Structure 1
Amino acid sequence: MKPKSISQIIKENYSSLSQGQKKAAEFLTLHREEGVLLTAFQLGKRAGVSETTVIRLAYALGFKGYSDMQEALRRNWLEKKQGAGLEELPAELKQPNETSIFSSVIEKETSVLQQLLMQVDEGEIWKTVDHFIQSDRIYIGGFGSSYGAAYWLHYTLKLYRDNVALSSPAGFSLEDILDLNQNSAVIIFSFPRYRQESLELAKCSQAQGATVIAITNRQFSPVGQLAEITLTTEEELDSGDHSIASVVSLLEVIMEGVKHRDQDRISLRQQKLEKLYTDQELFLE
């Protein structure tokens, strides 16, 4: 079995950490490249906590000491870097001018997608794929600016399976989630500025027994902390606002997995859809 990543270990233990330990843990998650080089004292200074707090964090996460935790962090970072086969990301993007503004946007999106490739956890992706296939019903929540990605997933997933529902951009009703149970999955999109409705949907869905899958920008976003599965898009990038390109790319990865594992059922459903499209003369070509 593949060893758990530092992010997974931190997430599993996050609720039991002290406030100081949480600050150090978040710093490690957001700045893994720095973390592999810093001493406990240096890390504590960068995270705004004491050296003792950093050492206690290592014990709280199940390591024998700080050096043991740092070695695990180093291994995890190297595996991601080697697996992606990428050059080191630039420390900062060049300031765009009038003639380069469009190319700077493309460079930024390229950096975001490279980061997504490095941080993606295949195990968590396949768990999500299985929930998309096996759940009796799926409810998708996205509020405010997160609604666009939620709608994309809703439209695409309905081509592949039945019993898929979508929230409105402004919220959800309790009637929407009344029939959720332990065999259901709720997908919640949550990006800054985080909406209160996302947290409420996660709590209500878990009370119904459903599995909550968060698609967010970092493991320790409000919804990310609660979800059974948290998929992130820009974990180590300070991009100011989230990139819709990275969100849709992550969704396309998931949907490719769904097609791979459920191709027979999807094929039958799409044959029925094509007949309906033809009967209704829906498309011009």
Structure 2
Amino acid sequence: MEEKTLFHIIKERFPSLSPGQKKVAEFIKRHMDEGALQTAYQIGQKVGVSETTVIRLAYALGFGGFSDLQEKIRKDWLFKQQAENEGTVAGKDRDVPIFERIIDRERVLLDQLLPQLNPDDLWKAVESIIEADRVYIGSIGSTYAAGYWLYYSLRQMRKDVFLSSPNGYLPEEICELTGKSVVVVFSYPRYRREVLKLVNLAKNQHAKILAITNRQLSPAGQAADIALTTEEQTDFSHNSIASVISLLEVLIAGIQSRDEERINLRQQQLEQLYANQELFLE
């Protein structure tokens, strides 16, 4: 018997789901890439429901837990990508609208992201950030948006996280780094001189360097203690922010899984502050 797709399972059981579970199911259907990589807590935050609701959806759909549901999402997502890639006809680019070409290119980049990542390097990066006394994020110029995304996400999980400005960094920020600190730098063509200067200054302070870059042999990649790459196997001239954010999602998920107790405590404290200030509408 042919295995049912996740879309088919959701369609069959949708009427019996709670309103919150229906919101999660619709999100997963529309954003399988995020569902494949993010934690139950992160999905709940994006949808506006609790982590428990996301987990209960997995049971309601007949899975043994959220991890089983996520494995099914990944399987269906990869199958969909492979089918789309196989259906692409070489040389048809001129006949395809520009928006479709861009989306096809992003699919290729995301499809190649996971196989090129070294799990050992990912876990080293995760543990380094968890154990660091302070995390400094250097994202200058066009990489600032990705750096700010990481900064905001880490601030939900731990204290002592700092971010450069889009124009550079201050020496006063670097002088407080120690041998237990981690400096995360983003480096993509055209490579900024300031990024390499930041790396060298941080190394003089004995801080560990984690580079998020397009290639291991980029200037920052060569100088870093750990380099995580997003486009090592491609020849595209344009660098994709989607692949960078996907890599950061993987990194955040790893931190969440290894430092869950401390993160939960911090998020409870933050939620209490948010509630006291009536920060959100719901």
TM-score (norm 2): 0.68
**1: CA distance, partners of 2:148 / 2:173:** 16
Which of 187, 190, 198 aligns to 1:190? It is 187
**2: CA distance, partners of 1:170 / 1:188:** 14
Q: Does 1:121 align with 2:118?
A: yes
The secondary structure found in structure 2 opposite 1:206 is: helix
**Superposition pairs of residues 264-279 of structure 1, within 5 angstroms:** 264-279=261-276
Partner of 2:162: 165
Question: Structure 1 residues 277 and 221 mapped into 2: Cα distance closer, same or farther (>3 Å)?
Answer: same
**2: CA distance, partners of 1:182 / 1:92:** 52
Unaligned runs of 5+ in 2: 1-77
**1: CA distance, partners of 2:281 / 2:90:** 43
Partner of 2:246: 249
**1: CA distance, partners of 2:105 / 2:166:** 27
- Residue 115 of structure 1: how far off its partner (Å): 1.2
**Superposition pairs of residues 41-120 of structure 1, within 5 angstroms:** 94=91, 96-97=93-94, 100-120=97-117
Partner of 1:224: 221
**Structure 2: which amino acid aligns with 1:107?**
D
- Residue 241 of structure 1: how far off its partner (Å): 1.4
Partner of 2:50: none
- Residue 210 of structure 1: how far off its partner (Å): 0.1
The secondary structure found in structure 2 opposite 1:284 is: coil
- Residue 100 of structure 1: how far off its partner (Å): 2.4
The secondary structure found in structure 1 opposite 2:106 is: helix
Which of 183, 202, 205 aligns to 1:208? It is 205
- Residue 186 of structure 1: how far off its partner (Å): 0.1
Question: Structure 1 residues 189 and 94 mapped into 2: Cα distance closer, same or farther (>3 Å)?
Answer: farther
**Structure 2: which amino acid aligns with 1:118?**
P
Q: Does 1:137 align with 2:134?
A: yes
**2: CA distance, partners of 1:93 / 1:226:** 38
Residue correspondences, number:
202
Question: Structure 1 residues 93 and 125 mapped into 2: Cα distance closer, same or farther (>3 Å)?
Answer: farther
Q: Is the 8 A contact 1:182 1:209 kept in 2?
A: yes
- Residue 151 of structure 1: how far off its partner (Å): 0.5
Q: Is the 8 A contact 1:93 1:108 kept in 2?
A: no
Task: Output one character per residue of 1:37-69: Cα deviation in whole Å (capped at 9) or x when no partner.
Answer: xxxxxxxxxxxxxxxxxxxxxxxxxxxxxxxxx
Partner of 2:144: 147
**2: CA distance, partners of 1:191 / 1:95:** 29
The secondary structure found in structure 2 opposite 1:169 is: coil
**Structure 2: which amino acid aligns with 1:178?**
C
**Structure 2: which amino acid aligns with 1:234?**
E
The secondary structure found in structure 2 opposite 1:187 is: strand
Partner of 1:240: 237
**2: CA distance, partners of 1:277 / 1:97:** 50
Question: Structure 1 residues 141 and 199 mapped into 2: Cα distance closer, same or farther (>3 Å)?
Answer: same
**2: CA distance, partners of 1:138 / 1:268:** 19
**Structure 1: which amino acid aligns with 2:270?**
L
**2: CA distance, partners of 1:131 / 1:226:** 17
Partner of 1:22: none
**1: CA distance, partners of 2:171 / 2:90:** 44
- Residue 95 of structure 1: how far off its partner (Å): 5.6
Q: Does 1:174 align with 2:171?
A: yes
Identity %: 48
**1: CA distance, partners of 2:173 / 2:91:** 46
**1: CA distance, partners of 2:157 / 2:90:** 39
**2: CA distance, partners of 1:93 / 1:224:** 33
The secondary structure found in structure 2 opposite 1:255 is: helix
Partner of 2:71: none
**Structure 1: which amino acid aligns with 2:120?**
G
Q: Is the 8 A contact 1:142 1:167 kept in 2?
A: yes
